[in-house]
Amino acid sequence: MSEKTAEHHTQQRRLNDEEKVLGRKAGELRAEGVSEHQIDAEAVVQNYMLWTGAAGVIPMPLVDFVAISSIQLAMLKKIGDIYGFSFSSNLGKSLISSLTGSYAASALGHGIGRSLLRSIPIIGGITSILAMPGFAAASTYALGKVFILHFESGGTFLDFDPVKSKEYYAKFLKSKMETKTEAAAK
């Protein structure tokens, strides 16, 4: 197979993967003016939402919370790689806690509470297994969307302002939680 043919097949596989993850044809997104970086980053967010949702099922109090945080950190690194930005784990942790800190303190408190709820036999496990995965996925979605928005507007990790971004985080978190609630009700 020629190098040009191999490159074409690789590109076609990438487009097919994007379409599977995003649920829309990548060509449609490009026609709407969505950048290649954004298409790739959106696919990363969708993928990591699945991973954090799965981590939300871990049956050990606080271990799930640590796993979710680690996965979100890995997601930010991957998104940064897509946009060509170097990533520091310490900076990432700081940005995540600053962004989610005040707004999501109650939501994260509920998340930690749900995690601790697992220590109550039977009822705790059932309740937290139903709630934690959805919250983890929604939080990951909101975090990813905020950083994509920031990078698409020309920002970097170094000039990210968590205070200015909290409103967007809250909006994205709320929209995804409502979507998950509506889906569960059906």
Domain parsing of the chain, residue ranges: 1-34, 35-185
CA angle 171, 28, 152 (to 5 degrees): 45
- Residue 127 one-letter amino acid: T
**Model pLDDT, residue 157:** 94
Given this model, what pLDDT does residue 25 score?
60
**In the prediction, which pLDDT does 60 show?**
73
Please give the pLDDT value at position 10. Answer: 56
Q: Give me the helix-helix angle, 105-117 and 89-101, nearest 10°.
A: 100
pLDDT computed for residue 130 by the predictor = 65
User: What SS3 class is residue 118?
Assistant: coil
180 is written with which tokens?
């998950």
The per-residue pLDDT for 132 is 76
Q: Is the separation of the CB atoms in 56 and 135 below 8 Å? A: yes
Q: Are 178 and 135 in contact (CB under 8 A)?
A: no
Residue 72, CA atoms < 13 Å, CB-side half-sphere: 29
Q: How high is the pLDDT of residue 9?
A: 54
Structure tokens at 158: 């170094």
| Helix pair angle (63-83, 89-101), 10° resolution | 110
pTM above 0.75, yes or no: no
The neighbour count for residue 32, using CB atoms within 10 Å, is 8
Q: Which residues of the chain have pLDDT under 50?
A: 18, 21, 104, 108
Other Cβ atoms less than 10 A from the Cβ of 45: the count is 21
pLDDT at 108: 47
